[in-house]
Amino acid sequence: MIKALCVFCGSSMGRQPLYAAQAVLLAEHLLAEKITLVYGGANVGLMGVLADTMLAGGGKVIGVMPKSLVEREVAHAGLTEMHIVEGMQERKALMADLSDAFIALPGAYGTLDELFEVLTWNQLGIITKPIGLLNLDGFFNPLLQMLDHAVAEKFLRPEHRRMLIIGDNFTRIMNDLEKYQPETAEKWIERLKAGKI
């Protein structure tokens, strides 16, 4: 059961109003299901929209932010809990520890960094927590094409590609996250030694 969801998303609002509108709907879904929001702790962009909607509805919001960003005055001042950490690696590790599952919304370098960090940790068996990608209006289509290309070129196992649960509807993604069962896959080196590739 998902009691705490970590959301990775932009510190910008993006070009389309759709992004903020869907962030509001996701927050309302979390409120209805009494799920805690874990996120990067900022008061700007989609991050701020998520947190503000949750707080306005009486939800629990946990932020995790490096000291360097707090000092730039982007930290949300009204969260249920705010954890101040030394750096980005500690931030990502703590967010993962506090969460049962992850969803990425549109964003850029920071969002993709966080998304690929938890995907890699799942691939390596460091964690076994479900990860969703909310592909609003095809925002992530080029990224998904790149992942498919990595599979075709035998850099990414199909089992590891399937770790990423994709959809344009957060209700369906949340249902899929709840039903997630981790797959195991041999490492490339194990397959090579066994003469399978």
What is the 3-class SS of 62-110, one letter each residue? EEEEEHHHHCCCCECCCCCEEEEECCHHHHHHHHHHHCCEEEECCCCHH
CATH number at residue 57: 3.40.50.450
Q: Is the pLDDT of residue 189 over 80?
A: no
Average per-residue pLDDT in the chain? 93
Q: Is the pLDDT of residue 194 over 70?
A: no
Q: What is the mean pLDDT of residues 55-59?
A: 98
Rounded Cα gap, residues 62 and 74, in angstroms: 15
pLDDT digits (tens, 9 = 90+) for 142-175: 999 999 999 999 999 999 999 999 999 888 999 9
Phi first, then psi, for residue 83 (nearest 5°) are: -105, 120
Q: Look up residue 19 and give its two tokens.
A: 């992004």
What is the pLDDT, as a whole number, of residue 183? Answer: 72
Q: Is the pLDDT of residue 105 over 60?
A: yes
Phi first, then psi, for residue 132 (nearest 5°) are: -115, 155
Nearest to 88 by CA among 104, 65, 112, 70: 65
Helix axes 170-179, 17-33, angle to 10 degrees: 50
Which of 13-22, 70-79, 185-194 shows the highest mean pLDDT? 13-22
Helix axes 17-33, 45-56, angle to 10 degrees: 40
Residue 181 makes CB contacts below 8 A (sequence gap 6+) with: none
* Contact (Cβ atoms closer than 8 angstroms) between residue 131 and residue 164: yes
Q: Which domain holds residue 30?
A: 4-193
What is the pLDDT, as a whole number, of residue 71? Answer: 79
What is the pLDDT, as a whole number, of residue 159? Answer: 94
Rounded Cα gap, residues 82 and 33, in angstroms: 22
In the chain, how many domains are there? 1
Rounded Cα gap, residues 178 and 137, in angstroms: 24
